[in-house]
A and B are shown apart, each in its own frame.
Chain A
Amino acid sequence: MNSIIGKINKIIHFSVVDGPGSRLVIFLQGCNYNCINCHNPHTINHCNSCQECVVTCPPSALQTIDEQQPPKYSTDICIGCDTCISLCPINSDPRISEISVTEMLTEISKYASFIEGITVSGGEATLQFKFVKSLFEAIKQDTHLSHLSCFIDTNGSLQVDKWRQLIDVTDGVMVDLKAWDQQVHLKLTGKSNHKVKETIKYLAKHNKLYEVRLLEIPTVTDYLLRIDEMASWLHQHASGVKIRINGFRHHGVTGKALALPQATKQDTNSLKLSLQQHQFEDICISGAFI
C-alpha cells in the first residue's frame, strides 16, 4: 500500500498527443508559472476553500462540508458547465481528487492493455515530485504494468538535482520552451527560463528528452526573431531533438490572453520552415493546426 497522495485535476484514458502511442494522461493540479496565455488556467492554483463556487454551481454539485476545506464535489450531479472554474477568483478548480499511488495503479491497470504508457501533465506535474517519483517507481515494479512507459510533460522548471532522482524511472520528457529570451520568458510566464535550458541540457544528455515544444504566439514569442541563436544552442545541447510546434489559440484561455493574437497556419508553417532551414529534421505541428 502506497499512500502518497497526488492532487489530480483530471485523468484522460486515451490521448494521442501526449507522447508516443496511446497514453493515459494524469493532469496534476498546481503550477509555478503564471502564463498570460495559459489554456487551462484552472489548473494553476490549489483551492483555498473560499466556498464561492458552492453558491454559483447551477446543479448544486458542490457542497460546503467544512468551511476550512475545499467543497465536496459530486460527479453524479455535475453537468460539466464549468461555471465553478470560470468564476474562481484564484484560478483553481474545486473538482480536484486526492488519489494515492496505490489507487492510481488500480485505475491504470483497467486501461493497461489499451495504452503504451502514461504521461503526467498539469499544471506542472513535477511540483508534486514525490507523487510522480513514487508512481513511476511503483509502475516499474509492478509486473502487470512495467511494460508501460512513463512520460512527463513539463515547463522545465524542476532543478537538475531533482531530475537526477527521477531519471531512472522516467522514459521520456516533453519540455515547453515558452520563449528563447530571458526577458520575454519572464514577461510571458513570470519566471526566467534559466532552469528550463538546464533541464533540456540534462535530459538530452541522458537521452530522456522526447520533445521540445514551442508555443508560437505571433508578435509575442521570439523564436523566429532569435532563431539563429536558439538553433545553434539546441544543436549543441540537444542534438537531433524532436520539435513540436503548437500555435496559440483562444480555446480555453481567459482574460487578458484573449487580446493576444492567435497563430495562423501560416505562422506555424513559417516557424517550421525556418527550423528546417536551420537543419532540424524532426519537426511536427500539432494536429489542430495542420
Chain B
Amino acid sequence: MSAATQQAKDNNLICDMYEGHAPFKPRYVLPDYQLFLQQGSKYLELEPAQDFDDALNNLMILYHFVPSVTNIPVFIGHLDQLLMPYVGELSEEQIYSKLKRFWIMLDRVLPDAFMHANIGPSDNIVCRTILKIDAELAQIAPNLSLLFDTEKTPESLLLQACENIATTSKPHIVNHNMHKQKYAEKGYGVVSCYNVLPVAGGCNTLVRVNLKGVAEQANSITDFMQVQLPLYCQAAYELIEARCQFLHKDSNFFDHFLVQEGILDEKRFAPMFGIYGMAECINTLLSKEQLQGHYGEDQNANALALEITQLVAKIVDQTEVPYGYHGRALLHSQGGLNSDVDVTPGIRIEYGTEPDPITHLMSLAPQHQYFTSGVSEILTLEPTVRGNPQAIQQLCKGAFNHGIGIFTANVATNDLVRITGYMVRMSDINKLSEQGSRTNTTALADGAIKSTHVSQRQPRVVSHEFNHWQNK
C-alpha cells in the first residue's frame, strides 16, 4: 500500500473493518446449499439428502464449516426452496415440530444475529411455517428475509410477514423484482445485516469510505466531487487490491473443500465497496457552501446525496478489479460498526431527525437502485401499528413501488430490536453488564446503542406529524 493510502486508513477516511491486513478467509460466504444437499460431500463423508431430516441434519453439519468474518455462517440458505423437495408426505404438524427444533438449534448452537435465512418469494408450507415459528420464538437468530415478488408472492404471505414485524420487527422484506436479475443463474442471497451477494460466492473483502470524513477534507462541493471523493475511492481500491491479493493468491483459501466440491466458485466472489456517513457528508458540504438544507428533510440535500451516490456508482462501475464479479466491486451502503461515533450508517437519515415514514422512504428511494450489494433503512413505527399490520404491508408495497430495495421496520417497544440490520433483545442488553450474554451480537449491539444513538430513532406514525413545522 502507498503511504497516502496508509494515511487515509490511519485517519479513518477509509476502513478495512479492522480485519487485519492478511485475510485468510472471505468476509461473507454463501455456499450453494442446493448443490450440497443434492450431491452430499466427499470431504464431510455425507450422502445426498434423502428426506427432510437428512436435509436439516446435513445443513446443520455444513453450517459448522462455512467460513465467515464471525466464524458463524452469515447465510444459511433459501430455506424453503432448499427444503421443499424433501417435504414428501410429512404433515403440517410434523413439518412444524421439525422446523421448530431446527430454529431453536440454530439460535442456541450458532448464537449470532448476523446468521441470515432467506424465504420466499413463492408461497409454500415451509415458508409459512418458518414465519409462524419465528414469531412464536422471537429469537435474535437467525436473521430473516422474505423475498417479495409482485408476480409470485401472494398478498396473504406478505401480510403474515407484516404481522410478524408488528410483534418481532422481523423479517426484512426484500424487493425481489429489483434484485432477481442479479448474479446470473445462481442468483443472490441476503446475508449478515442486509448484504445482497452472489450465491456460490460472496464477498472477499469489504472496504468502506467515510463520506463524512472526506467531506470534512473538501473545501467545496466541487472539490468534494471532482478531487477528494475520487481520490479516496482510489485509496479504497488500493486497500481492496492488497487484501484480495493476499486472500486469493497467498491464503490457500480457494483450496477449501467447499471450492473443490463446487459449493463455492472463486469467480463469484467480489469486493464490497462500502460508503457510510452520507447524512453528515451532506450537512457538512451544504454548510461549507453556506447553503440551507438538511439530509432527509430538504430536496436540495437529497438531490446532492443522489448525485454523490451516482458518482460513486460510476466509479465502481468503471474501475476494474482483479478479483471481482465480472471484474467489478459491488457498491454497498455500509450499515455501521459498533465503534462508529457521530456518523450515520450508509445513506441513512440521521437518527432522531427522521420525517414521517412515507417521506422518509421517498427521500431515500432514488438512491437504492445503485447499491448492488445492499442498502437498507430502518423505519421505527409506533406501537399503535400492531393493531393494523395492513398498514405495514401498504407501506412496504409503496416503498417497493418507489424503488426501495429492502423494507425493514422496528416497532417501538418490541423486545426484539434491529440495530444496523441484525437483531438484539433489549432485555438482553439490559442484563449484559451484570450477567453477560450467551449470544455474540448482544455485546456489539450494546456498543452500537451507546456510541451511535441508534436507539434514538424516532417512533413515527402520528404524534409528531401534528407539529405543523414538521410538515413543510
Contacts and interface: CB of A to CB of B under 8 A. Distances in A.
Interface stretch (B27-35, B83-91, B240-248, B464-472): B464-472
Contact of A113 (B388, B401, B468): B401
A225 to B, nearest CB: 28
B163 interface: no
Contacts of A21: 388, 390-391, 393-394
A12 interface: yes
Contacts of A12: 356, 462, 465-466
Contacts of B465: 10, 12-14
Contacts of A55: none
B46 interface: no
A287 interface: yes
Interface string B396-416: 011101100000000000000
Interface stretch (B322-330, B368-376, B379-387): B379-387
Interface string A3-22: 00000001111111100111
B359 interface: yes
A75 interface: yes
A253 to B, nearest CB: 14
A113 B384 contact: no
A113 B382 CA distance: 21
Contacts of B399: 114
Given A13-B359, A14-B357, A115 B394 contact: yes
Contact of B356 (A10, A14, A76, A95): A14
Interface residues of B, number: 36
Contacts of B462: 12, 15-17
Contacts of A79: 469
A116 B394 contact: yes
A10 B472 CA distance: 11
Interface string B224-244: 000000000000000000000
B359 A80 contact: no
Contact of A80 (B385, B395, B397, B467): B467
Nearest to A27: B466
Given A14-B356, A114-B361, A288-B384, A76 B391 contact: no
Contact of B390 (A14, A22, A110, A114): A22
Contact of B471 (A75, A111, A284): A75
Nearest to A76: B472
Nearest to B390: A21
B358 interface: yes
B285 to A, nearest CB: 21
Contacts of B398: 111, 113-115
A284 B388 CA distance: 11
B316 interface: no
Contacts of B460: 14
Contacts of A75: 468-469, 471-472
Contacts of A11: 471
Contacts of B362: 110
Contacts of A288: 384
Contacts of B470: 80
A16 B469 contact: no
B402 A16 contact: no
A78 interface: yes
B265 to A, nearest CB: 39
Query: Interface centre among B381, B393, B399, B468, by most A CB within 10 Å?
Result: B468
B49 interface: no
A86 to B, nearest CB: 14
Contacts of B392: 22
B461 interface: yes
A286 B468 CA distance: 24
A95 B468 contact: yes
Given A16-B384, A21-B391, A287-B383, A113 B402 contact: yes
A7 to B, nearest CB: 15
A20 B393 CA distance: 12
Contacts of A95: 468
Contacts of A113: 397-398, 401-402
Nearest to B463: A251
Interface in B222-280: none
Contacts of B397: 113-114
Contacts of A110: 362
Contacts of B383: 287, 290
B468 A78 contact: yes
A287 B387 contact: yes
A13 B461 CA distance: 9
Interface in A63-80: 75-76, 78-80
A23 B356 CA distance: 13
Interface in B36-87: none
Contacts of A287: 382-384, 386-387
A17 B385 CA distance: 8
Given A15-B461, A17-B384, A21-B394, A111 B358 contact: yes
Nearest to A73: B468
Contacts of B359: 13
Nearest to A287: B384
Contacts of A111: 358, 398
Nearest to A13: B358
A261 B386 CA distance: 27
Nearest to B394: A22
Contact of B461 (A14, A20, A80): A14
Q: Which of A11, A13, A286 has the most CB of B within 10 A?
A: A13
Contacts of A286: 384
B19 to A, nearest CB: 40
23 contacts: A10-B471, A12-B356, A12-B465, A12-B466, A13-B465, A14-B391, A14-B460, A15-B461, A16-B381, A16-B385, A16-B387, A16-B388, A17-B461, A22-B388, A75-B471, A80-B468, A80-B469, A111-B358, A113-B397, A113-B402, A114-B361, A114-B394, A115-B398
Interface of B: 356-359, 361-362, 381-388, 390-395, 397-399, 401-402, 460-462, 465-472
6 cross-chain pairs, A with B, having the tightest CB-CB distances, nearest first = A114-B398, A287-B384, A22-B391, A80-B467, A80-B469, A21-B390
Interface of A: 10-17, 20-23, 75-76, 78-80, 95, 110-111, 113-116, 284, 286-288, 290
Given A14-B391, A76-B472, 20 more contacts: A12-B462, A12-B465, A14-B357, A14-B358, A14-B395, A14-B461, A14-B465, A16-B381, A16-B461, A16-B462, A23-B391, A110-B362, A111-B358, A114-B397, A114-B401, A115-B394, A115-B398, A286-B384, A287-B383, A288-B384
